[in-house]
């Protein structure tokens, strides 16, 4: 790291963004011997942000990545295992599908993954970064210059960073993506979503439940307390706006009606956070000296726990590509390295983006043939265990090989 007298921080890679995908990308690159500067606001500590009730449902490969990065041990006690996923067709369709449960034990697994508080996860990642990386700058990036052989980043605190590779993990309005001239496709649904948590009188038994209804889904995900779950409620924009305005008693009543008693009576409701339901897809995950990860590259509706897991696979795949470049003595931010990264991620990102979009739109449509097709698929999954196991494997693993850091903890 440069001395405090020198305003220029030199690094092999500058990672911009301190969300979980960004910090994981920085730590993954450090794991393969890259000198990394991490730039972004310091996250709030869990105890100082009790109003943040968001959680992250991590698939087993993402948990394996956190183990390899030396982060999991510090947060494991705050995670709840996801042993089964239950899907309930709660629509008014004449062709309603049967309730179906995907159990991890059918694949010989203890759990599909874990659910963990977002603040605890980010705090653990950032704490590891502070003791591992060459430089951690709690600042925002104000300007990026992309030269033929390096990138220059000017930060809000006055620091400047020079790096051969820029990793953009700075979200929907990514400064890194804009500087590299990477175009995006964006779309909106006439939906909103509420993230919160709640207590209940029946144990969740480590089962995550998705109730599908016209205009959206309600998903409950286990928390470590067997009588508490996190909640993502997706509905029409008007419905969600009304629910955000409702007092706790009215919201609790509405939630109890929506869940139909599957978790018993509803107790305390946590802080509610609103976010629009939208999609974003970068035309490429790489540009001039720039690689995109996480929500700078893709944003999906909150269905099936795909978003963050996709971003963590970005992080680990980028580390693989940069490690390969180092073995060849190649430039980590050169065209060959970045082209390899974009190609490595293309199929996984495209398949998840298209799949989640189609599922969400199938809930919104009143088109009878599409409703019938969705019902027939769920009937088939319920009746045919081999098909159900195949679908579970597809949901757990990408269509391409997992990156090295996700192939089980050493």
pLDDT in tens, 23-49: 999 999 999 999 999 999 998 776 655
**Confidence (pLDDT) at 93:** 58
Residue 75 region by backbone torsions, left for phi larger than 0, else alpha for psi between -120 and 50, else beta: alpha
Nearest in space to 401 (alpha carbons), one of 352, 350, 355, 345: 345
Give percent of the chain with pLDDT exceeding 90. Answer: 67
136-168 per-position pLDDT tens digit = 999 999 999 999 999 999 999 889 999 999 999
Nearest in space to 382 (alpha carbons), one of 9, 95, 79, 103: 103
Name all domains of the chain by residue range, CATH numbers in brackets: 8-72+118-185+278-406 (3.50.50.60), 81-115+190-277 (3.30.9.10)
Kindly indicate the confidence band of residue 410, based on its pLDDT and cuts at 50, 70 and 90: very low
Interval 122-143 mean pLDDT = 96
**What is the pLDDT of the chain when averaged over all its residues?**
87
Sign for the pseudo-dihedral over CA of 260, 262, 264, 269: negative
**Confidence (pLDDT) at 100:** 80
pLDDT over 90 (residue 319): yes
Residue 347 region by backbone torsions, left for phi larger than 0, else alpha for psi between -120 and 50, else beta: alpha
Residues in contact with 159: Cβ distance below 8 Å, sequence separation at least 6, in sequence order? 7, 9, 137, 139
pLDDT over 90 (residue 7): no
Distance CA 340, CA 388 (A): 33
**Confidence (pLDDT) at 231:** 96
Residue 157 in contact with residue 6, Cβ under 8 Å?
Answer: no
Q: For residue 73, what are its two tokens?
A: 């041990």
Using a 10 angstrom Cβ sphere, with 0-12 exposed, 13-18 middle and 19 or more buried, the burial of residue 315 is buried
Interval 332-361 mean pLDDT = 87
Distance CA 160, CA 34 (A): 19
Nearest in space to 213 (alpha carbons), one of 363, 378, 360, 70: 363
Kindly indicate the confidence band of residue 2, based on its pLDDT and cuts at 50, 70 and 90: very low
Instruction: Give strand pairing partners of 56.
Output: 116
DSSP secondary structure letter of residue 204: -
Predicted structure pTM score: 0.89
Kindly indicate the confidence band of residue 215, based on its pLDDT and cuts at 50, 70 and 90: confident
pLDDT over 70 (residue 52): yes
Residue 184 in contact with residue 177, Cβ under 8 Å?
Answer: yes
Give percent of the chain with pLDDT exceeding 70. Answer: 83
| H or E segment and range at residue 196 | strand 184-200
pLDDT over 80 (residue 409): no
196-214 per-position pLDDT tens digit = 999 999 999 999 998 988 7
Residue 39 in contact with residue 190, Cβ under 8 Å?
Answer: no
Residue 317 in contact with residue 297, Cβ under 8 Å?
Answer: no
**Confidence (pLDDT) at 50:** 59
**Confidence (pLDDT) at 87:** 85
Kindly indicate the confidence band of residue 384, based on its pLDDT and cuts at 50, 70 and 90: very low
Interval 55-82 mean pLDDT = 94
């Amino acid at each position: 790291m440069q001395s405090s007298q020198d305003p220029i921080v030199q690094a092999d890679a500058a990672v911009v963004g301190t969300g979980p995908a960004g910090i994981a990308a920085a730590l993954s690159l450090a794991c393969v011997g890259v000198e990394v500067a991490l730039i972004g606001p310091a996250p709030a500590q869990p105890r100082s942000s009790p109003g943040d009730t968001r959680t992250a449902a991590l698939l087993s490969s993402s948990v394996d990545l956190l183990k390899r990065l030396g982060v999991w041990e510090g947060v494991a006690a705050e995670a709840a295992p996801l042993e089964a996923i239950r899907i309930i067709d709660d629509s008014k369709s004449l062709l309603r599908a049967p309730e179906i449960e995907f159990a991890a034990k059918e694949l010989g697994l203890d759990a599909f993954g874990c659910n963990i508080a977002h603040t605890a996860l980010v705090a653990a990642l950032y704490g590891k970064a502070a003791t591992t990386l060459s430089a951690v700058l709690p600042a925002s990036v104000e300007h990026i210059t992309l030269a033929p052989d390096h990138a220059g980043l000017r930060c809000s605190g006055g620091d400047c960073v020079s790096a051969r590779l820029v990793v953009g993990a700075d979200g929907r309005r990514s400064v890194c993506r804009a500087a590299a001239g990477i175009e995006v496709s964006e779309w909106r649904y006439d939906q909103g979503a509420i993230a919160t948590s709640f207590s209940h009188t029946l144990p969740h038994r480590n089962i995550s439940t998705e109730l599908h209804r016209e205009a959206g889904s309600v998903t409950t995900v286990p928390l470590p307390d067997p009588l508490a779950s996190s909640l993502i409620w997706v509905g029409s924009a008007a419905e969600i706006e009304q629910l955000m305005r409702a007092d706790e008693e009215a919201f609790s009543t509405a939630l109890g009606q929506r869940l139909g008693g599957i978790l018993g009576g509803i107790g305390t409701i946590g802080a509610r956070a609103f976010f629009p339901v939208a999609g974003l897809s970068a035309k490429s995950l790489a540009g001039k000296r720039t690689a995109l990860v996480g929500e700078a590259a893709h944003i999906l509706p909150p269905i099936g726990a795909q978003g963050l897991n996709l971003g963590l696979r970005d992080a680990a795949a980028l580390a693989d590509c940069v490690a390969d470049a180092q073995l060849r003595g190649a430039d980590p931010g050169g065209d060959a390295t970045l082209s390899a990264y974009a190609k490595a991620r293309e199929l996984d990102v495209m398949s998840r983006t298209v799949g989640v979009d189609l599922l969400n739109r199938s809930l919104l449509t009143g088109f009878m043939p599409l409703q019938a097709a969705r019902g027939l698929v769920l009937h088939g999954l319920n009746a045919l265990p081999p098909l159900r196991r195949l679908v579970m494997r597809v949901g757990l693993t990408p269509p391409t090989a997992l990156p090295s850091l996700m192939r089980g903890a050493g």
